[in-house]
A = this chain, B = another copy of it.
């Protein structure tokens, strides 16, 4: 069994929810995704699981911190969160759609200090940059 799948079932057990075949299938769909997916893409890519169950479980995954959601237009996109993917943020080119992943230590530090200043306890954070990539600025 793959390491990710083991980690996944551990997270479910840790939260005392059942490890079911449907949840596995949905998780595998997310694992195999080459980019963040819309809900209906996830439904399509998990044909053996009912729509309703996909929705119920995507909501569960978000609560348990297994997934993260971001926005493209008015459409929410979901991808796996840590510890299933490296921690990162996105920089999206609005011309060609290319999505660059960002990992930046200093950025994380600044966010930490803002949060501390407000006595806030952070559970997650999202940073999305939008603009034109180097290539599209030229052409």
Q: Are B129 and A120 in contact (CB under 8 A)?
A: yes
A70 to chain B, nearest CB (A): 7
User: Which residues from B are CB-within-8-Å of A118?
Assistant: 91, 100, 133-134
Asked if B74 contacts A39 (CB within 8 A), the reply is yes
| Known contacts A74-B39, A110-B110, A121 near B128 by CB under 8 Å | no
Evaluate contact between A120 and B107: CB separation under 8 angstroms: no
On chain B, the residues within 8 Å of A129 by CB distance are 111, 114-115, 120, 122, 124-126
What are 22 A-B contacts defined by CB distance under 8 Å? A59-B73, A62-B73, A69-B71, A71-B76, A74-B76, A91-B114, A91-B118, A91-B120, A93-B120, A104-B110, A111-B127, A115-B131, A118-B133, A118-B134, A119-B133, A121-B131, A123-B131, A124-B130, A125-B127, A126-B128, A126-B129, A127-B127
Residues on A lying within 8 angstroms of B by beta carbon are 39, 59, 62, 69-71, 73-74, 76, 91, 93-94, 100, 102, 104, 106-107, 110-111, 113-115, 118-134, 137
